[in-house]
Chain A
Amino acid sequence: MDRPTLDELLEATAEFLEREILPTLADPRLRFQTLVALNALGIARRELALWQGLMAEDQRALATLLGREGEGAELLGELAHRIRQGQAPEGTFAFLKAHVARKLRVASPRYLERYP
């Protein structure tokens, strides 16, 4: 594919919003929504950079926890079901913490830093 790459396109869009649009906005609501849009672009860029690695990690941990291979969403669904039935496998809590932390490394990495 020709340059710019997907990440570079998202970066250019974010730069435009931040440097050219944001300073022109007086309406607090529009300013807030623009900051949220910048956050959305940040999530997209982190997902692009990290997701494959994190997904593979999540998938491996989930397969080990449940003792079988399978597609990600299906395994996650099985785990959710077993927790609801009160039959969570040993090690579920540790998996869940790591699983949610992986989601946050994409969605909200600074939030994780707020925990000691």
Chain B
Amino acid sequence: MRAALEAALKELFGPGELLYLQRIPGGASKEAWVLDYRVGERVYPLFLRRAGGGVIQRRTLPLATEFRLLEAAHAHGVRVARPLRYFPDLEDREAFLMERLEGESIGTRVVRRPELQRTRQGLPQAMAEELAKIHRIPQDRLPPLPGPGEKPAHAWILEELYMDLDALEEPHPALEWGLRWLQDHPPRPLSPVLVHGDFRIGNLMVDGEGLVAVLDWEFAHLGDPREDLAWPLVRAWRFGEDGKRLGGVGEVEPFLARYNALTGREIAAEELLWWEILGNVRWGLGALNQARRHLKGEERSVELAVLGRLAAEMEYEVLHLLERYG
């Protein structure tokens, strides 16, 4: 792998020296490598994503698609690490190279660390600005992505969630209750846009100055813009700062107002409830599925195992939201 990388680095940056190449621990389905390349006095901090040998998770984008998506996002001014080179076959697996940015992306730290106080104040606005940019990328600039096709976006997602629930082969009447309510109260249709699919604190890299980058594009798809707007409201992504509904850092109204001002969409705060409930159902199912990955031996991990029990937190939140606002 080193030789193939060195050849590509030479092409990209000129003759130099690969100073450092280290795999960092992480998921089994994708590998992450940190590397530094020096040309003369200058050192380029870089990051390599490579397909893992493990089981590919359903619904995550192939690396080739993710790479093209990052290129489109970068070209449209979205804050992302610059994608540099796609390798169809880096020692038998696809991979891509990108810039390595510095910052904090651990959710609990982003919502709590005192030195990030100023960043948090600006974050609702910054999040709205990034989403406005993402949702404006013309679809003819995008690689083929999963999407609702001819169906309304909300109906497509509900079908997917029912499939996930059935695949568990375990009754979860609270999630059924949430899904039933969602079916019975369909949202007004909006034209599909590029949806990041996992836009929350924890996937945003920040530093003391503000938002550095939007990470983790592997769940991107075409869909309803309100899906991205409501996902950071899900209580699990507030990291204990329950009173601040937007990702544990701020309030929904200024975030939504900024988004509406930038996009010309007139999305009301109440409309996000449907997608917030959906988000909680989805993360509840996600947690149950993560535990299945452990139980099936796809990725043994006590962290994944415990998620199977913590899914009840999301069930409780679904019921709470319906009791209070439904």
Contact status of A103 and B303, CB under 8 A, knowing A73-B171, A96-B173, A115-B320: no
A107 touches B319 (CB 8 A): no
Across the interface, do B177 and A36 meet the contact criterion of CB distance under 8 Å?
Answer: no
B residues sitting closer than 8 Å to A (CB atoms) are: 25, 171-174, 176-177, 179-180, 184, 242, 301-303, 305-306, 309-310, 312-313, 315-316, 319-320, 322-323
Is B177 in contact with A108, judged by CB distance below 8 angstroms? no
Name the distance in Å between B45's Cβ and chain A's nearest Cβ: 20
Q: How does the 8 Å CB contact mask read for A77-116 relative to B, with 1 for contact and 0 for none?
A: 1011001101010001100110111011011100110110
Residues of B within 8 A of A29 (CB): 25
Given the interface pairs A96-B174, A97-B319, A99-B174, the reply to whether A107 lies near B309 with Cβ below 8 Å is yes
Nearest B residue (CB) for A107? B309
**How long is the Cα–Cα vector from A36 to B173 in the complex, in angstroms?**
27
> Can you show 21 pairs from A to B with CB atoms below 8 A apart?
A36-B303, A37-B302, A40-B302, A43-B309, A80-B173, A83-B180, A86-B180, A96-B173, A96-B174, A96-B177, A97-B319, A99-B173, A100-B312, A100-B315, A103-B309, A104-B312, A104-B316, A107-B313, A108-B309, A108-B310, A108-B312
Task: Chain A residues near B309: list those with CB within 8 A.
Answer: 43, 103, 106-108
Q: Tell me the complex Cα distance, A112–B235, Å.
A: 13
Within 8 Å CB of A86, what residues of B? 180, 184
Residues in A whose Cβ lies below 8 Å from that of B172: 80
Contacts of B305 in A (CB 8 A): 40
**Interface contact A104-B173, CB-CB below 8 Å:** no
Assembled-state Cα–Cα distance A113/B172 (Å): 22
Q: Considering only CB atoms, which chain A residue lies closest to B301 in the complex?
A: A33
A107 contacts B171, CB within 8 Å?
no
Query: For residue B306, which residues in chain A have a CB less than 8 angstroms away from its CB?
Result: 36, 39-40, 43
- Does A54 belong to the interface (CB within 8 Å)? no
Q: How far apart sit A43 and B305, CA to CA, in the bound complex (Å)? A: 12
Question: Which chain A positions have C-beta within 8 A of B173?
Answer: 76, 79-80, 83, 92, 96, 99
Main secondary structure of the interface of B (DSSP, over half): helix
For the complex, what is the distance from the CA of A84 to the CA of B179, rounded to whole Å?
A: 8
Interchain CB contact under 8 A, A33 and B302: yes
Known: A84-B176, A97-B323. A103 touches B312 (CB 8 A): yes
User: Which of chain B's residues have a CB closer than 8 A to the CB of A107?
Assistant: 309-310, 312-313
Bound-complex Cα distance A7 to B306 (A): 19
For A36, A101, A115, which residue has the most chain B Cβ atoms within 10 angstroms? A36
Nearest residue, chain A, Cβ from B309: A107
Q: Given the complex of chains A and B, what is the CA–CA distance between A102 and B315 in angstroms?
A: 12
With A76-B173, A83-B177: A112-B303 Cβ-Cβ less than 8 Å = no
A79 to B173, CA, bound (A): 6
Scoring A29, A84, A108, A114 by chain B CB atoms within 10 A of each residue's CB, the highest score goes to A84
Residues in chain B near residue A79, CB distance under 8 A = 171, 173
Q: Assuming A39-B306, A93-B323, what are 15 further A-B pairs, CB within 8 angstroms?
A: A36-B302, A37-B302, A40-B302, A40-B306, A76-B171, A79-B173, A80-B176, A83-B173, A88-B177, A99-B174, A100-B319, A104-B316, A107-B310, A108-B309, A115-B316
CA distance A92 to B174 in the complex (A): 10
For A79, give the chain B residue with the smallest CB separation. B173
Closest B residue to A111 using CB positions: B313
Are A33 and B316 interface neighbours, CB within 8 A? Answer: no
- A111 to B320 Cα, complex, angstroms: 13
